[in-house]
Amino acid sequence: MPLEKDATHVSAVPERKGDLRAGDVRADARVGELFAEAVRIMARLRAPGGCPWDREQTFASIRKYTLEETYEVLDAIEREHWADLADELGDLLLQVLFYAEMAEEAGHFGIGDVVAALNRKLVRRHPHVFGEAASAAAGNRAEGLETDGIGAAEVLRNWDEIKKLEKKTRAEGAGRLDSITRAMPALSEAGKIGAKAAKVGFDWPDAHGVVEKLREETAELEAEIRLSDQKAAAEEVGDLLFTAANLARHLRVDPELALRDANAKFRRRFAAMEAVTERPLEELSAAELEELWARSKNAERQV
């Protein structure tokens, strides 16, 4: 159910002087009303008599949508399409509201706890803005930080020091891999896990050893495919991807960027296939499609 827009709506792109902005009392009140309405809408969707699809979702089932929405936000930023960005940020906010509503239903926390924790974190990590007393009251344990008249580099150093002490408190008794956040693309996480394990000597000796492991994992995947075991095959695909990410680490290649480049390359070549044939691709045989693919590859290499 879309929210009605009116003259007091805070636009993502300023159009004229006099628009309401954060800090303006009227804007603050209106934003609060809109946010509260979004929370109520989400609760209604999950309530008895609400949306059947929304009601059957779980934390696990909507994870993939959260990832998709995050990448759509990044895409809008890269294209500098601000109207799309405003829309995609709304979709990303929906994910936050969805998780918070499910958490409240389960008795874990609510959206108020999420916002309150964020507010404390922002004050805690910005003593140069809110003052050291307020920062300490919000949980900052770092002492002796330079806060007067500092620039971006000093702010970042302070941020890292405050964050390090926060993590130290949470990490008492934690394992070596617990310091690696899971809040990153899976390929990047795999490489960081491998690098951390390598520090204690648990690693392949060189890239050739990882290539051999890739062959081993491929053989195991083929075996599961022959057995038609979907669950086991999914696990083997994960092992294969983990190994590929660590091969990239040994080769000093960013696996996430390498995959994005490969995706872009496939898009270019597939578009070239579409451009050089007058017949719909669906009508072509496998051999004809393969010939078109080879032609698009050769044409790209000759540029």
pLDDT for position 21: 56
User: Confidence band (pLDDT; 50, 70, 90) for 63?
Assistant: confident
- 102 and 118 in a single domain? The answer is no
Of 108, 124, 147, the position where a domain reaches its end is 108
How far from 129 is each of 2, 132, 138, 149, 155, CA to CA, in Å? 36, 9, 13, 10, 10
Phi-psi region of 203 (alpha: psi -120 to 50; beta: other; left: phi over 0): beta
Does 54 map to a domain? yes
- Cβ-proximal residues to 296 (8 Å cutoff; 6+ apart), any chain: 268, 269, 270, 272, 273, 276
pLDDT for position 136: 85
Of 123, 151, 173, the position where a domain reaches its end is 173
Task: Give the other-Cβ count within 10 Å of 92's Cβ.
Answer: 16
CATH number of 227's domain: 1.10.287.1080
The domain total for the chain is: 4
Q: Which of 175, 176, 141 is nearest to 161 (CA)?
A: 141
Q: Which of 287, 288, 270 is nearest to 279 (CA)?
A: 288
- Cβ-proximal residues to 45 (8 Å cutoff; 6+ apart), any chain: 51, 54, 55
d(C-alpha 3, C-alpha 88), whole Å = 15
User: Confidence band (pLDDT; 50, 70, 90) for 169?
Assistant: low
pLDDT for position 3: 35
- 20 and 83 in a single domain? The answer is yes
Burial class (CB in 10 A: 0-12, 13-18, 19+), 203: middle
User: Confidence band (pLDDT; 50, 70, 90) for 184?
Assistant: confident
Q: Report pTM.
A: 0.55
d(C-alpha 298, C-alpha 303), whole Å = 9
- 1 and 101 in a single domain? The answer is yes
Taking 90 as the threshold, does the pLDDT of residue 107 lie above it?
yes
Give the chain's end-to-end CA distance (angstroms, integer). Answer: 50
Range of the domain at 144: 110-173
Taking 70 as the threshold, does the pLDDT of residue 179 lie above it?
yes
- 20 and 93 in a single domain? The answer is yes
pLDDT for position 18: 43
Q: Which of 153, 133, 156 is nearest to 143 (CA)?
A: 133
Phi-psi region of 231 (alpha: psi -120 to 50; beta: other; left: phi over 0): alpha
User: What dihedral do alpha carbons 142, 153, 172, 130 form, nearest 10°?
Assistant: 40
pLDDT > 90 in the chain, percent: 54
pLDDT for position 35: 94
User: Confidence band (pLDDT; 50, 70, 90) for 22?
Assistant: low
- Cβ-proximal residues to 38 (8 Å cutoff; 6+ apart), any chain: 3, 93, 97
Of 141, 173, 205, the position where a domain reaches its end is 173
d(C-alpha 64, C-alpha 49), whole Å = 25
Taking 80 as the threshold, does the pLDDT of residue 173 lie above it?
no
d(C-alpha 152, C-alpha 124), whole Å = 17
- 72 and 98 in a single domain? The answer is yes
Report helix, strand and coil shares of the chain as percent, to nearest 5.
70, 0, 30
| Mean pLDDT, rounded, for 46-60 | 95
